Amino acid sequence: METLIRHILLLSAAFLAVFNADASTMNIRLGYALEDFVFEYDADSLFTLQSSIHTLTFDNDTTTPALPQIPVTVAVAPGKSYLDFILGFSESPVLQGRIPARNEMCVPTSESNFEYTPVIPDYAPRSFPDERVVFTGSDDVEGMTLLHFLVSPFRYDAQTRTLYLSSDLRMNIRLMDSDMSGVEIPQLPAHLRELIAGMCVNSPDIEMLRAPAQSQNEDVTGDLDYVIVTSRKLAAAFEPLKRWKTIKGVRTEIKCVEDIYREYTGKDSQERIKRFLHESFKNRGLRYVLLGGDHSNVPERGCYGRAKAKDGFKENKTMPTDLYYACFGGEFDWDGNGNGIYGEIVDKMGVIPSIFVSRVPAKSTSDVENFVNKTLSYELDPAKGKTEQTMLLTGAEFSHACKIHKFKYDSQCKLELLYKLSIAPYSSIKATSLFDKTLHFLNKDPLNASRLAQELSKGYSFVSVGTHGNLFL
């Protein structure tokens, strides 16, 4: 491994000299400091690395050390696609003689009797991970290409029990002309440029890669801001919400699925709805979508899912998701290989949303009326004395193997990190955590349906729930 890295560093100039004529390069430099991470130890003195600065992910291979991976996204110019990259880095030892914990096992909620007994790892005498940087795929967002990587700043030598940190990683990314080369690409709406800039490590390049739209006020381009997609039997019940949105200056329409099915083509109902939304986004400036009804009124897209369980892996080919309706890049119908199974990695679908999609899972007219009345009541007459926006963080554990935070579920740690990194720096929203394990530690009532309902009745502006789930929970 070390010999290969030295060869890469020594030969980088030679590789650059023989690039294809139609390729270009981007140089990305990533810096990591030991102070960015925290070592935490479990009862067996096995360590895990956490961070309050970086968003961390971990591999799902429970036989290898839990070394953090940092998602990195790079935006490239229109007309270019990924070819490969050359990696250079320097590293230094930061911990000696200690053993990292294994990667955690993600357990479906339905595994109610699952038992996991941690064991002292016996890693093979080699270095982990196999690769320091892994290219995981790309997304196309209205002509802008985003490259996704997983970067491992740490390396663990199991033979010498030494942990190394790469404080400086240099990626020379090679690009080639794509199928979109030479094609005129429309400008990105402001909200998409902001979204992409927030995701990418080269965000200063965004404005250079894509010039801003010509309109001085992009929020008023087009003639449709918000659409309620519902069935004919529920449409009338959404009228008060439509009127209220319009009064507020949000241009709103109600569109019935029966009309969409007649007016648009596609292999099934879901694709017809998506084509309507895409056309409205491209031609009318659509930004917000409310799917008005449960799956019997507005169908969901069932997609492929795979999770590790006690007896191997569990697969589900019809896992419901509405993200399908928001993402227009990549393979449009999310079935690139045409096998009728949606959302597989090989389908090369885009998962960066171009519009904001939500759903009210109403089954009947009375359900819709309750939802609309509560929404109007909340917006027209907010709780007395409520002068600030608040957010509730709640949920259950994701993994039975999480032993790092003694008095917290891993879901609590993840949601609190989400709030700290993605919400607190940009708004004055205040967050409250409500998790069963913390309540138990504080000798308070356990978290159950009535306890959660009691908390929700306080009138939070936003609620973020982190947990597994199924149709019956």
Query: What's 57's domain CATH number?
Result: 2.60.40.3800
Q: Are residues 177 and 260 in the same domain?
A: no
Identify the CA nearest to 336 among candidates 140, 93, 86, 57: 140
Residue 177 lies in a domain: yes
* Mean per-residue pLDDT, 228-237: 98
Tens of pLDDT along 250-305? Answer: 999 999 999 999 999 999 999 999 999 999 999 999 999 999 999 999 999 999 98
Lowest-confidence range among 151-160, 187-196, 212-221, 409-418?
212-221
Phi-psi category of 3—alpha, beta or left, where left has phi over 0 and alpha has psi -120 to 50? Answer: alpha
**Higher-scoring residue by pLDDT: 233, 200:** 233
Identify the CA nearest to 166 among candidates 218, 94, 107: 94
Q: Are residues 153 and 50 in the same domain?
A: yes
Confidence of residue 435 (pLDDT cuts 50, 70, 90): confident
Residue 214 lies in a domain: no
The total of other beta-carbon atoms located within 10 Å of residue 35's CB is: 8
* Mean per-residue pLDDT, 8-33: 57
Rounded CA gap, 320 and 298, in Å? Answer: 12
3-state per-residue secondary structure call for the chain: CHHHHHHHHHHHHHHHHCCCCCEEEEEEEEECCHHHCEEEECCCCCEEEECCCCCCECCCCCCCECCCEEEEEEEECCCEEEEEEEEEEEEEEEEECCCECECCCCCCCCCCCCCCCCCCCCCCCCEECCCCEEEEEEEEECCEEEEEEEECCEEEECCCCEEEEEEEEEEEEEEEECCCCCCCCCCCCHHHHHHHHHHECCHHHHHHHCCCCCCCCHHHCCCCCEEEEECHHHHHHHHHHHHHHHHCCCCEEEEEHHHHHHHCCCCCHHHHHHHHHHHHHHHHCCCEEEEECCCCCCCCEEEEEEEEECCEEEEEEEEEECHHHCCCCECCCCCCCCCCCECCHHHCECCCCCCEEEEECCCCHHHHHHHHHHHHHHHHCCCCCCCCCEEEEEECCCCCCCCCCCCCCHHHHHHHHHHHHHHHHHCCCEEEEEEHHHHHHCCCCCCCHHHHHHHHCCCCCEEEEECCCCCCC
Rounded CA gap, 71 and 151, in Å? Answer: 6
Residue-level pLDDT at 18: 35
Rounded CA gap, 286 and 466, in Å? Answer: 29
* Mean per-residue pLDDT, 191-212: 72
Residue-level pLDDT at 5: 35
Asked whether the beta carbons of 121 and 61 are under 8 A apart, the reply is no
* Parallel/antiparallel/unpaired status of strands 23-31 and 70-76: unpaired
Residue-level pLDDT at 397: 72
* Mean per-residue pLDDT, 330-358: 91
Query: What's 229's domain CATH number?
Result: 3.40.50.10390
* Mean per-residue pLDDT, 426-430: 88
Q: Is the pLDDT of residue 395 over 50?
A: yes
Q: Are residues 363 and 453 in the same domain?
A: no
**Higher-scoring residue by pLDDT: 43, 357:** 357
Q: Is the pLDDT of residue 17 over 70?
A: no
Asked whether the beta carbons of 426 and 389 are under 8 A apart, the reply is no
Q: Which residues form the domain of 256?
A: 222-381
Q: Are residues 377 and 396 in the same domain?
A: no
Q: Are residues 275 and 371 in the same domain?
A: yes
Instruction: Give percent above pLDDT 90 in the chain.
Output: 47
Q: Are residues 468 and 343 in the same domain?
A: no
Q: Which of 381, 411, 428 is the last residue of a domain?
A: 381
Confidence of residue 443 (pLDDT cuts 50, 70, 90): low
Residue 215 lies in a domain: no
Q: Which of 347, 364, 381 is the last residue of a domain?
A: 381
Q: Are residues 177 and 35 in the same domain?
A: yes
Q: Is the pLDDT of residue 96 over 90?
A: yes
Q: Which residues lie below 8 Å from residue 11, measured CB to CB, with a gap of 6+?
A: none
Tens of pLDDT along 121-149? Answer: 889 999 999 999 999 988 888 777 889 99
Residue-level pLDDT at 211: 46
* Mean per-residue pLDDT, 171-195: 74
* Mean per-residue pLDDT, 333-338: 93
Q: Are residues 24 and 140 in the same domain?
A: yes
Confidence of residue 196 (pLDDT cuts 50, 70, 90): confident
Tens of pLDDT along 450-473? Answer: 888 888 888 888 899 887 765 444
* Mean per-residue pLDDT, 421-431: 87
Provide the terminal-to-terminal Cα distance of the chain, rounded to the nearest Å: 47
Residue 217 lies in a domain: no
Q: Are residues 373 and 394 in the same domain?
A: no
Q: Are residues 331 and 366 in the same domain?
A: yes
Residue 121 lies in a domain: yes
Residue 332 lies in a domain: yes
Lowest-confidence range among 157-166, 192-201, 266-275?
192-201
* Mean per-residue pLDDT, 431-447: 75
Q: What is the sign of the dihedral through the CA atoms of 419, 420, 423 and 427?
A: positive
**Higher-scoring residue by pLDDT: 71, 219:** 71
Q: Are residues 350 and 256 in the same domain?
A: yes
Residue 154 lies in a domain: yes
Asked whether the beta carbons of 253 and 228 are under 8 A apart, the reply is yes
Residue-level pLDDT at 83: 92
Q: Which of 358, 381, 404 is the last residue of a domain?
A: 381
Q: Are residues 271 and 338 in the same domain?
A: yes
Q: Could you tell me the pTM of the whole model?
A: 0.76
Q: Which residues lie below 8 Å from residue 71, measured CB to CB, with a gap of 6+?
A: 55, 57, 148, 149, 150, 151
- Count: domains in the chain: 3
Q: Is the pLDDT of residue 214 over 60?
A: no
